[in-house]
Structure 1
């Protein structure tokens, strides 16, 4: 019994000594002042690229495509026959632009107006698009490159047809007409680029929108990013003052964030075409035949109403122009 009492007493002495030592210690160190951390910037943010996408070449009619085939038959040895043999249409698309090319967070599937166009091309080749499309998500800056390198069969990615781009790739007839406008916070009074002199305005790299911003007489500060969704993030984080691009893309951003608004009148006319490798005239003719079909059978109208009709108002498919 004595030994246990002795041990207990010894423990109490040690605890008391430690407590006294702690009580004798100096007060806590001065607290560190922590300021608000800056929002992280999206990857690959850059400055103006006035030449990218700018259509200073007027030596062609950019909208005149190759006349379509009569029907949707596929001849032996054609580009389309090789795609059918492979079993999949490889399409360069966007996965970040709500309403036109985006990944549905509930299903994980790509959806939107441009995705519908891809699926129509695949259905014309295989009878159904199910299981016959390989989507490849690409940024705007890679649209020409993946076609020149034959990494994809088509690019359907809000792709404006210009003479400059026609030097590297081919285009289908125009399947959609958009116009460049401006997206700002609802508290902003800006209505045009002239109201944004010296302000930071975001657009995607190598886009016609970026070229317009960089060359505007009001001299807004062009900020370039890889994807349009990065522009919306930067606007939400007050890292840019506005976003300027096609009304179709801006409508998707406004639908996602009720704190922003689309303003102004269209500054440009953006004619979307399906991008196709330069050496594949037969594929251009086939895609144009598909576009003729969906203009006439109501598929274009149904897709438009599903994705953008309620936001941009009524519209009809553009009339095609052929060489």
Structure 2
């Protein structure tokens, strides 16, 4: 009997606890205040970085390259012969800049104006580019390093020729001339960096564009990222007020997002060259011979019309300068 009373008491205690809990549920605690979560920033976002340097050395003519070879023959023992023996041209490129170097989501292939230049170099070496190019996607901040370390044969990545960069690497003759402009939302009235004083303006790390932003008298706030596509993402998420870089890159961003626009006059002139390791002058001469060919046979014009002509208007290949 005693045990029955004990069990009954225990059951009643449990019921009492359960009833108390149920009673408590009738008086809910007020919910915590809810706010919008901040958009995550792309990896590697930083501040001003002027390591690209401002090209003010008047003793240097950065655009004067080594005179090309007569044709694209491959001498024994040359840098080109070693590349042919390997079976692939290794090229440092971009895969995030629409129109110049980007990965086509439908095919998975890397395409664009710069990629066409790589393929012309490979075709001159092997007879065809197909199966003979190894693309290595690199951020703009690594362009000099991969050449200095001989991780690639060439860098073709919207690569502006400057005296500071010539201290560490070789460049071909200019194959494209761009100009730095500004990308803003269509709702913005900004037309220049002077309209963006105190505003956050995005550019890639170690780019000449970032140097221009960081040193502008209007004092916009320079925001650096590893890749140009990160700038577009941050602009879309209202984390920056503008993007400033070459009009070629901005044209690709505007083609991807109809809510933004390219504005203003050119802030700088950017002369693109093919980067080559410092100790491989014969490869520079070979690349210059290829560029001469595509200037003259219509290949440059066809590539320009395919990728950027409709967005940036008519253009002709730049005239080479040689020393």
Fold in common (TM above 0.5): yes
Report the counterpart of residue 182 of structure 2 in structure 1.
182
Contact 1:59 1:163 in 2 (8 A): no
| Per-residue deviation, residues 148-174 of structure 1 (Å, max 9, x unmatched) | 000000000000001110010000000
Alignment-derived partner of residue 144 in structure 1: 144
Q: What secondary structure does 1:61 align onto?
A: coil
- The alpha carbon displacement at 1:59 in A equals 1.9
Report the 3-state secondary structure (helix = DSSP H, G, I; strand = E; otherwise coil) of the residue aligned with 1:56: coil
Q: Which residue of 2 aligns with 1:284?
A: 284
Could you tell me how far apart the structure 2 residues matched to 1:69 and 1:240 are?
47
In structure 1, C-alpha distance between the alignment counterparts of 2:210 and 2:24, rounded to whole Å: 62
Q: Does 1:49 align with 2:49?
A: yes
1:87 aligns with 2:87: yes
Match of 1:9 in 2: none
Alignment correspondent of 1:224 = 224
Aligned positions of 1:1-323 closer than 5 A: 23-26=22-25, 27-323=27-323
CA distance in 1, matches of 2:145, 2:54: 17
Mapped to 1, the partners of 2:109 and 2:207 lie a distance apart of: 26
Displacement, 1:25? 3.1
Shift of 1:18: 9.4
- The Cα shift of 1:22 comes to 5.8
Over aligned residue pairs, what C-alpha RMSD do you find?
1.6
State the distance in 2 between where 1:179 and 1:112 align: 18
1:49 positional shift: 1.4
Alignment: residue pair count: 311
Unaligned runs of 5+ in 1: 1-12
CA contact (8 A) 1:178 1:269 kept: yes
Cα contact 1:56–1:164 (8 A) shared by 2: no
Separation of aligned partners in 1, 2:183 and 2:201: 9
**Separation of aligned partners in 2, 1:43 and 1:224:** 11
Partners of 1:173 and 1:226 in 2: how far apart? 26
> What is the CA distance between 1:261 and its match in structure 2?
0.3
Structure-1 separation of matches of 2:214 and 2:127: 45
TM-score by length of 1: 0.93
How much does 1:55 deviate?
A: 1.1
SS of residue in 2 equivalent to 1:306: helix
CA drift at 1:91 = 0.3
- 2:48·2:222 contact (CA, 8 Å) conserved in 1? yes
Partner Cα separation in structure 2 for residue 137 and residue 72 of structure 1: 26
- 1:267-308 Cα offsets, whole Å, 9 max, x none, are 111000000000001000000000001011111000000000
Instruction: Provide the rounded CA distance (Å) in 1 between the counterparts of 2:249 and 2:124.
Output: 27
- SS of the aligned residue for 1:25 comes to helix
Q: Is the 8 A contact 1:99 1:252 kept in 2?
A: yes
